[in-house]
Chains A and B, each alone.
Chain A
């Protein structure tokens, strides 16, 4: 390794361990005497649990215990909660139905756990779980969110009449209606956002170990935010007070949001370990992951855009129904509200916006944040509307967008957000140039000569990351503050350990975070290690989601580094008998400006710990901590251009070219940023073309394995053309905005805009399956022939 600072394409320090199979995941953890948990799950989407007979299971070899919801409730274990309070427009609080980790009375989705078996081996536990007899009385189920709101629909929770969780609004309704009264053109669309299953490579897992002598629990688990997990398990679920509960999230193989939440299974392992007196491990299989990991998206919307005679936007009106599934997961209420409707202004000057969002219960897997969380839904809506409006008024999609771009900052939108910095023309121009947008008609004609249909589509996205100013989110209903903490420990030999509350599960923090220290002190990145994911090591942290680890997590590190630097300079100045202001750090040395006097960083670190000669009154040691609370959200933005070619005989869509021009603010490691964009784009293209969680009317998940749920593969996507264009975020010390979700947020509308361009028909829902595209291509050709 070497000194690799900000902007270096440093290779990932963590990859050696991952590539050589030396990573340590939860399932790699083995404890003496450990037993295995297997869950008894409902085969019905909606049913009353009339009785559970565990006698046959208990008699099977190796079986320790069969535990049920009555015992769980009896032991005082709390209900699973949603941590973000939303009020309906009439002022009433959201209607949260009771969610028990093991359900004693009424199951509400296929896969919901009603009991757990603990046995000596995983196979014994599974066999015994199959032998637990549950007497169900089936109830009618509802899976479609619009049907769930209809009178007479099956009722899920007594707390939520008509299955309505809340009926929320944002923006100025009167002003928006007035804008429509004055409009010279109105574009209207019905837009749905398909339900997705997150599918991280590593399924969820938990290993819980209760020490009765110390009344102390340890939980190894696949978490994106171990401290939040500990807080919720302690404060709401009554597992143990925080000082008696250690949560360790070791190497974690992807999350995409699905590992933010505290699920029934992890909690049951903690409780079961105490009950049976042995460590208890559970590892989700892929079917369980499909059925129980929180799903993403699932919106139905009606949108209207009002334009004046000059094609400037006057107003935007949106009505959305969001399906939250059978229960309210941890952040489920914030996703279709403050993470969604606050982005409905897109990159545009829109004087008036009003959005109404209804959230509903259905007999489906709970829905929560998934890569992008609300912003993909907003971006899809806005960018489908922009492209459609441009087509309707006969402007080029780029020209129509340019007419409406926000160009002066800060820009206050009508939906809370205040955009701090950006340059949307730059990314639009760059993307169109790279995509050779002007050469498209010739390519379309050439494709037509081969019987193929070509289309091109744009998406100019904006999103909000770096969540978030604690006071701001607190006023909007969040149950927690969204700051981050860090501690920088310089060892006596001058190596550095950084403890961070951010959690890496694929993001490469061990590399990018080390680059900050390398840059600051001129140290080799190998002299730095990043410690995360253990509540006993790191004091506190809010974890990783919402592309916050750079803008928030690294900002906390920078604050701690400032303190370390200042103390190191004081020590160096004292030792070299110079003024503190004259000390400069360069190439791993602290120098007195204008002289040849210098000390190495190591010498200063050692001096701090020997403490033989420190400035008067200074404490020994070189270790500083900091908390950073952001001042605003950050606003990554950019333009994506997608070009497709369709085979009208089969409906197969091939992505010929995909260009992304992004503004992420300051980029620390371009290689890692590109990797994040690649992954995000593939997930977004997956949503647009392939992925869909489909239920039948009885609530059975039809796509519960890879035989039916289409994950994007390498041959479904082209090589991407990426570029970044930096406007610095003024809100944090590094000027970072975040890059983890942009690809998934910006890409779906680009793909669908391209396909609808090729087909000359706008009547297309995601995923654009071959059959749907074929049907539109055929009717298009029929029309053309007539």
Chain B
């Protein structure tokens, strides 16, 4: 690990100011991705600005028919939230399946989506639910926010403050974990909106990160049952392929996880 300077910001304004002053600053959430990266000497920020103690970035509240979750809220808090369980059960179960207990008690929603690991779980929920990402500069729709593998629409130094998740009449997430990392090899979030429309978002499998499955969405809008998606798989061409699973295997997992998510929703 390289040596670095640690700062704890008390407000968003202070965080922005500390970042502006730093030679090569980085926002620090739960540190579950950034610190291992630094330990492997793949990142060497001069300054770390910890945003997890900023009051307005913490906590979960009701927001219309859905919920708004502060960016510094940990995965464990989301998983345990009665409000989330009641409004969007699929989101609570997704958060409860991230990593292990230590990771869930440190890692944050904001850090996860800002990092946009192609195998991270949250992006599937944001896209399927049509969430809005609120930053210190603007509001971004989930599909605009995630722009490619480890890439987002965030500007340098832009801070994710919270995410607003619209409610769903049915939702579920089904994940096949990578045996080593336990990130998603294929994770499918299925959300049925109040108007009966359905969104299906896939993480872990795509070369460009999270993507939607329009064919599944159409099939489920007319028949919200596992069988409706049993014959639908993504084109293996755009899928990840590595020592843990070929693109063809991942394509199969997408179908199987979609069936299981629909069954659980």
**Within the assembled complex, what's the spacing in Å between the Cα atoms of A711 and B249?**
22
A residues 282-325 touching B (CB-CB < 8 Å): 285, 287
- By size class, the interface of chain B is 10 to 19
Number of A-B contacts (CB under 8 A): 48
A126 to B40, CA, bound (A): 11
Asked if B252 is at the interface (CB within 8 A of a chain A CB), the reply is yes
Q: B64 near A: Cβ within 8 Å?
A: no
Between B3, B179, B243, the greatest number of chain A beta carbons within 10 A of the residue's beta carbon is seen for: B179
- Rounded to whole angstroms, the CA-CA distance of A104 and B1 in the bound complex is 28
A489-B244 Cα distance, complex, nearest whole Å? 55
Q: Which residues of chain B are near A512, meaning CB under 8 Å?
A: none
State which residues 222-245 of B face A: CB under 8 Å: 243-245
**Min CB distance, B37 to chain A, in Å?**
11
A contact residues around B246 at 8 Å (CB)? 771
Whether the pair B253, A650 counts as a contact (CB closer than 8 A) is yes
Ordered nearest first, which 10 A-B pairs have the shortest CB separation?
A710-B180, A771-B249, A707-B181, A649-B256, A710-B179, A123-B3, A771-B245, A708-B180, A694-B243, A702-B243
Q: Quick check: B180 and A707 within 8 Å, CB to CB? A: yes
Q: A residues within 8 A CB of B150?
A: none
> Are A771's CB and B244's CB within 8 A?
yes
Nearest-neighbour CB distance to chain A for B184, whole angstroms, equals 13
With both beta carbons as reference points, the residue of chain B lying nearest to A651 in the complex is identified as B249
- Chain B residues closer than 8 Å to A769, beta-carbon distance: 179, 244
User: Is B243 within 8 A of A708, CB to CB?
Assistant: yes
Q: Name 12 A/B residue pairs within 8 A (Cβ), A-sorted.
A: A287-B40, A649-B252, A650-B176, A650-B253, A702-B243, A708-B243, A710-B179, A711-B180, A769-B179, A771-B245, A774-B249, A774-B252
Residues of B within 8 A of A (CB): 1-3, 39-41, 176, 179-181, 243-246, 249, 252-253, 256
Are B180 and A709 closer than 8 Å at their CB atoms?
Answer: yes
Is A525 an interface position by the 8 A CB rule?
no
Q: How far is the CB of A126 from chain B (nearest CB, A)?
A: 7
Q: Which of A708-756 contact B (CB under 8 A)?
A: 708-711
Chain A positions 667-726 with a Cβ under 8 Å from a chain B Cβ = 690, 694, 702-703, 705-711
Assembly CA distance A649 to B176 (angstroms):
11
Nearest residue (CB) in A for B252 is A774
B180 touching A706, Cβ below 8 Å: yes
CB-nearest residue of chain A to B259: A649
Q: Mark A122-154, 1 if CB is under 8 A from B, else 0.
A: 010011001000000000000000000000000
- In the bound complex, residues from chain A placing their C-beta under 8 Å from that of B245 are 770-771
Within 8 A of B (CB), among A272-290: 285, 287
Residues of A within 8 A of B41 (CB): 126, 130
Question: Are B249 and A706 interface neighbours, CB within 8 A?
Answer: no
CB pair A123 B1 closer than 8 Å:
yes
Q: Using Cβ atoms and an 8 Å threshold, which residues of chain A touch B253?
A: 650
A705 to B39, CA, bound (A): 12
Q: Min CB distance, A767 to chain B, in Å?
A: 9
- A443 vs B2: C-alpha distance when bound (angstroms): 55
Q: Which of A354-392 contact B (CB under 8 A)?
A: none
Give CA–CA (A649, B181) in the complex, Å: 21
Inter-chain CA distance A651–B256, complex, in Å, is 11
A708 & B40 in contact (Cβ 8 Å cutoff): no
**Judging by beta carbons under 8 Å apart, are A703 and B243 in contact?**
yes
* Min distance, Cβ A169 to any Cβ of chain B, angstroms: 35
Residues of chain B within 8 A (CB-CB) of A711 are: 180
How far apart are the CA atoms of A706 and B252 in the complex, in Å?
Answer: 25
Q: Which residues of chain A (169-186) have a CB below 8 Å from chain B? A: none
- Residue of B whose beta carbon sits closest to that of A778: B252
A486 to chain B, nearest CB (A): 42
**What's the least CB distance linking B181 to chain A, in Å?**
5
Q: Which residues of B contact A130 (CB under 8 A)?
A: 41
Closest to A767 in B: B179
CA distance A552 to B251 in the complex (A): 55
Inter-subunit contact A123/B256 (CB<8 Å): no
